[in-house]
Structure formats: C-alpha cells, structure tokens
Structure 1
C-alpha cells in the first residue's frame, strides 16, 4: 500500500490492505466490458483536421499502439501540435489491448476503508488499487467505470468522470463523453477541467477514432477544439 493511500485512509501503521474478492470482481467485470483493439492490431494512419476555435488546420496522424504517435500539422503552433498528439496518444493508450491480468489484476484491489459499505454513492463504491506506480482508484456502478482517479507523483491529481457510454459493433462499450478535472497535489484546489466527446467508426472491423471534441477553460473563456480523422488506413 502506498503512503498516500495509507495516510488518507488513516492506516499509517497498517502494513497492507487485503485484496477483496468482490472489489476484484467489480474491476474485472468493468474491464471486460470496455472496448479495446484486437491483440494483433498494428495501428492506423489517417488524415487529420483540427478546428481550433474556427481556425482550420489539416495534417495527418500515425498511431502504433503503446509505441508511437506521430502528428504532422503544417502551420500549427508547436504547442498546439503537441496538444493534438497527446490527446490522440492518450486515446490510443486507453484502446490498446490489455488483459485484466496484465493490467489492474496485478494490483491489490480493495474497497476504500473510509466509505460506509451500506452507503449509496451515486457513482458506486470506490475501489483502491495499490502496488502500482500511480495512486489510483475507481468508482464502479452497474459494471461500468463511473470515475477514475489518478495521482501522478510530483505533478497532479486528476479525476476522470465518465458521463456517457456508447456501444461498439461487437457489443462492448466505450466512453463517449467524460470530464477530466485536475487538482493540486494536496487536492485543495481545482486547477483545470476538460470535457471530452468521442466518436468512432468501424474500419475493417476495428473501432477507430473519428472525432474528439474537447472544451476547456482558458483566460476567462471556454475554448473548444475539434480533432477529426478521415481516410483511415489500418496498418499491416
């Protein structure tokens, strides 16, 4: 158990949290419901259009799962091009094939000891993941992730609140709308918030990104950028 979770739970003298079979089953079921690319999927190329508050830029992207994401966006500010690359790279990481045993199944999965088991939190019970690089937790309800919390060492605390799911052609689900909230490391202040709306399309039997609409606050305004992909090509 990490020190941050131990301190939060008031268990500083406790050597470890015990794995809870019900918590493990909740995370396993939610994992299996999520759409992920096939194990042998090599990646994709696509034409890319960025609409940044009405300014249109065109380019291309190539993504190889868990290895590389390259964005070419002529005329874009380097920071904006990196912003696009990071949003597509993060999306690809979430879609990349991972078994439960290779992912969350490696960690100790237990319910938050501070929560009342009989409570009716609107987003479900909180499950703590201990033993990983990041301090993480999930809220799960109706076999769906409803919130995902991460603490990145020395940088930030963030919570992904999933508002809506869509269904891929094979019946599994994907997050079609979620809100990312960023906090200071001590959790005392909100320092940023982003709203994501995602659309996909079936390309040769693989569910590939079609559009990402991101809205975020900046300098007293709410800005919106839309990343659209077209002419997809599945890599061999």
Structure 2
C-alpha cells in the first residue's frame, strides 16, 4: 500500500467515510464545469444487426438521438445517458457528500466499504483512492459493479475501461444476468468524450453482443441548458 493511501486506515465513522469517499469521487474524470455537450455520428449494433444515426447531448437529461439507431432500442438511450451522466460535473457536496455515510472498519480485498443511506442500500468499496466495486438494490434486483481496469485522462484522473455488472434476484438470490463492458474514449479539445462501448450480456436466453461507436465529435461551445 502506498503512503498516500493513509485515509483507508482511518477508523469507522461519518467523517472518515466522507474523507475517503470524496477522495475517490474526485479521482474520477468528469467533464469541466460549464461543459455544453457535444454532437456526434454514431453506429449501434445488436448481434448481427446494425443501425446508423447521430446523437446530440446537452446534458444527461437532454439527449436527442436521430436516424435509424435512435428508433430501434430503448437500451441505446439508456447506455448513452449512463455514459454521459457518470462523467457530468457534479460537486461532491451535491452527490454522495449530501448523504449519510458509514465506513466499515474491516479491510476487504476490494478495499474499505462505505455504506450509503440513499434508499438503494448502496455500498462503495475503495482501494488505493479509487472505487473498485459498487453494490446496490433496485426493485426486485440487487447488483454489483466490479471495475476491473481504468485508464488515465490527461489530467491524471481515471476513466473506467473494463467492468462487469452482476445481477441477482432479491427474492431467491438466483443469478439473473451478467453484463461485461468495455469502454473507449476520444480526447477532443482537451475533453475525454465517449468513443465506443461494447456490452456482452449472458443470461438464461444465451449471450448477446451490443456495441456503440461515435465519430465526428463536435463540442458545443458553452452550456445553454442545465441538467435537472
């Protein structure tokens, strides 16, 4: 463990939990304040079928898809919203910083556990100053996000590249589905924008492959709408 990992040795408590969570939150790449969004051409595929189109992003609540790709699948909009929303500039005080946190005193292979009072029974695990795992409950499912590989942005913050999401039934604990993700990024005018996403899903119906690729990115000069 590096000397800079000292906060992970702190005892359990709200103050220690926020210090560790803030550090991990700020280590993740987000768009700069005032980022106005972008437009790009895109291509979306599901197994053997594919569709072209375009996307215009103003903020996570204002995403417009056009062309064939924008009409074929609700999963497409969900993925684009997730890609943008996780990178949007939101101060820590308006995110996990606004919630009650509790730091588990035990150390696990995935890091220290931070329990969040957010209505989803969320648990973050932090190791070496970065989030390695997230657990949540939502509806009839519980799921775990395992971040396996990151890359460094030009400013030193990190971007997830390889991760998987595993879903279980809350009723009987049965494994429902596993999604394997691989993300790519393109730096445009100093901003790391989404370049690609590939998702391999395995469930009772078999295995499916989805992919999303962006090109011809154009950044809007300033934010003229705010995320809700």
Normalising by the smaller structure, the TM-score range is 0.7 to 0.9
Corresponding residue for 1:50? 44
In the aligned structure 1, how far is the partner of 2:123 from the partner of 2:37?
Answer: 29
1:139 partnered with 2:125: yes
Considering only aligned residues, what root-mean-square deviation do their CA atoms show, in Å?
2.0
Please give the TM-score of this superposition, normalised by the length of structure 2: 0.85
**1:71–1:84 Cα contact (<8 Å) kept:** no
Corresponding residue for 1:111? 103
1:60 partnered with 2:46: no
Residues 24-45 of structure 1 show CA distances to partners (whole Å, capped at 9, x for unaligned) of 2111110110000011011111
Deviation at 1:128, TM superposition (A): 0.3
Change (3 A) 1:187 1:170: farther
- What are the within-5 Å matches in structure 2 for residues 27-176 of structure 1? 27-74=21-68, 78=71, 80-112=72-104, 117-119=105-107, 121-130=108-117, 132-152=118-138, 154-176=139-161
Residues 42-76 of structure 1 show CA distances to partners (whole Å, capped at 9, x for unaligned) of 111110111322323111111222322222241x5
- More RCO (CA 8 Å, sep 6+): 2
In the aligned structure 1, how far is the partner of 2:34 from the partner of 2:152?
Answer: 22
| Structure 1 portions without partners, runs of 5+ | 1-17
Corresponding residue for 2:7? none
Change (3 A) 1:159 1:219: closer
Please give the TM-score of this superposition, normalised by the length of structure 1: 0.82
Deviation at 1:133, TM superposition (A): 4.0
In the aligned structure 2, how far is the partner of 1:73 from the partner of 1:224?
Answer: 21
Change (3 A) 1:215 1:73: farther
Change (3 A) 1:108 1:210: same
Change (3 A) 1:127 1:118: closer
Q: How many residues align?
A: 210
